[in-house]
Amino acid sequence: MKKVYIETYGCQMNEYDTELVRAVLMRDGYHMVDKEQEADIIMLNTCSVRDNANRKVYNRIHTLRHSRNGDPLLIGVLGCMATNFRQKLLNDRDLKLDFVVGPDSYKRLPSLIKEVEQSGKSAYDVTLSEFEDYADIYPSREIGVNAWIAVMRGCNNFCTFCVVPYTRGRERSRSPRNIVQEARRLANEGFKQVTLLGQNVNSYHFNGKDFAYLLEKVSQIQGLERIRFTSPHPKDFPHRLLHVVAENSKVCKHIHLPLQAGNSRVLELMNRTYSKEEYLTLVQDIRSHYPGMIITTDIIVGFPSETDVEFEDTVDVMQKVQFDAAYIFKYSERKGTIAARRFPDDVPENKKTERIVRLNELQNQISLEKNRQHIGEFQDVLIEQESTRKSPHDFQGRNDGNKIVIFPAGEYSKGEFVKVKITDATPHVLKGVVINQERTA
């Protein structure tokens, strides 16, 4: 039996895809292992969204080749780099890759591997499909607390900076019935939470059924206690959806709402299809439906031609909105994107650094302030694991707003809900003590 080791980079969609790949391979008799040293085949499920994600993978392949020099070992690249850099990857003699397989071709993995074994030559398939949704594959997950479910794949938005529409192809949604089946099975297996995934998850639509409909359907499943979703796009927030998120007790009160930039001219160049004012109005709308909604965001600094004055608009939006958390990135030019073709990457590196440092400092202050406002509250926390941060004597879980909550260990187990009184906060976590065991698993 061939042993396979997979390493996953990038977003949650890639994590989900790794679970699909495991299922495909196991069905074909492969055995999955946790240690690279034990593997006959190593796969890297890669990300291409920024240049440092790419570089990490190149370095990793070199290390793997070096450490297993001489072994009859196959190494392959899956995921977004596969589609984006197929030729470069295969032509690179140092990497000596055996296969390169894109996100829509995972069902062909077993036959491609056989092809490589028989011919001794490398193989690839990076064809993008308008239809592949893997609806017939039940991902092989580690039993845990949260399960990812991809409800749609691909992206049609073509934000000008972004490589995803090229690496993952056109948008397609799975049927609600198929998604509900998967979620039901997960509930039966003991998962308490599902996170519905899509590159642009709220553009989900299937035969007239939209994302609000899907959320409601999934929330009716017994045994599931929490439903999350990521990432939505600000352009697809009809009131009906806001209403479901605000009113449905199982849908978590957290919206990740990527801003990208605060200036309307820059937003237009990015093809984000909303202005600064429209974004701010949407945030107001969200808060009028649910004042305590946790809102997080993604921001890019140093998009081509972004001036100092325009950057101040991003600062302004951050101050006005008071995000609970923000993931801030320096613009990284991606080959083949509209921005790479049209706009020179002309904001100097030191400017990008200055801007990212400034935003991170500001966000840290805001996050700390926001988190401190929770002190004294009693929150329902779904336990995930022993704390990774401080000591083995702590446990950690998440509250409804997706914030990490740390508390002293007790007789609890993963997947259990506890009521925690929040006693302290940092910019990144809440700390507290368990008041009582709400419900048991």
Binding site residues, ligand F3S, CB under 6 A: 10-11, 13-14, 47-49, 79-80, 163-164, 167-168
Q: Is 78 helix (H, G, I), strand (E, B) or coil?
A: strand
Return d(Cα 78, Cα 104) in angstroms, integer.
10
Question: Least CB distance from residue 82 to ligand SF4, whole Å?
Answer: 17
Binding flag, residue 258, ligand SAH (CB under 6 A): yes
Q: Verify cis geometry, omega within 30 degrees of 0, for the bond prior to 231.
A: yes
Cβ atoms of 288 and 436 closer than 8 Å: no
Binding flag, residue 200, ligand SF4 (CB under 6 A): yes
Return d(Cα 192, Cα 417) in angstroms, integer.
9
Binding flag, residue 150, ligand SF4 (CB under 6 A): no
- The correct pick among 9, 161, 166, 237 for binding ligand SAH (CB under 6 A) is 161
**Torsion angle (degrees, nearest 10) of CA 115, 119, 121, 125:** -20
From the list ligand SF4, ligand F3S, ligand SAH, none, pick the one residue 167 interacts with, judged by a Cβ distance below 5 to 8 Å according to partner type: ligand F3S
Which residues make beta-bridge pairs with 433?
421
Query: Binding string, 218-247, against ligand SF4, x = CB under 6 A?
Result: ---------------x--------------
Binding flag, residue 157, ligand SF4 (CB under 6 A): yes
Nearer to ligand SF4, 30 or 323 (CB): 323
Q: Among candidates 182, 181, 235, which has minimal Cα distance to 211?
A: 235
- The correct pick among 18, 195, 199, 402 for binding ligand SF4 (CB under 6 A) is 199
Six-digit token pair at 178?
A: 């198929």
- The correct pick among 21, 47, 159, 286 for binding ligand SF4 (CB under 6 A) is 159
Binding flag, residue 260, ligand SAH (CB under 6 A): yes
Query: Binding string, 203-242, against ligand SAH, x = CB under 6 A?
Result: ----------------------------x-x---------
Would you give the DSSP letter of residue 163?
-
Give long-range contacts, CB 8 A cutoff, 24+ apart: 279-282. Answer: 279/234, 279/317, 280/317, 280/320, 280/321, 282/234, 282/237, 282/257
Nearer to ligand SF4, 33 or 338 (CB): 338
Residue keyed to tokens 């061939």? 2
From the list ligand F3S, ligand SAH, ligand SF4, none, pick the one residue 383 interacts with, judged by a Cβ distance below 5 to 8 Å according to partner type: none
Residue type, 148: W
Residue type, 309: V
E runs forming strands in 17-98: 31-32, 41-46, 74-79
From the list ligand SF4, ligand F3S, ligand SAH, none, pick the one residue 398 interacts with, judged by a Cβ distance below 5 to 8 Å according to partner type: none
Question: Least CB distance from residue 199 to ligand SF4, whole Å?
Answer: 4
Return d(Cα 416, Cα 388) in angstroms, integer.
18
Six-digit token pair at 3?
A: 């042993």
Query: Binding string, 162-191, against ligand SF4, x = CB under 6 A?
Result: x-xx--------------------------
Q: Is 27 helix (H, G, I), strand (E, B) or coil?
A: helix
From the list ligand SAH, ligand F3S, ligand SF4, none, pick the one residue 13 interacts with, judged by a Cβ distance below 5 to 8 Å according to partner type: ligand F3S
Task: List contacts with ligand SAH (CB under 6 A).
Answer: 49-50, 161-162, 164, 199-200, 231, 233, 258, 260, 298, 300, 329, 331-332, 334
Task: List contacts with ligand SF4 (CB under 6 A).
Answer: 155, 157-159, 162, 164-165, 199-200, 233
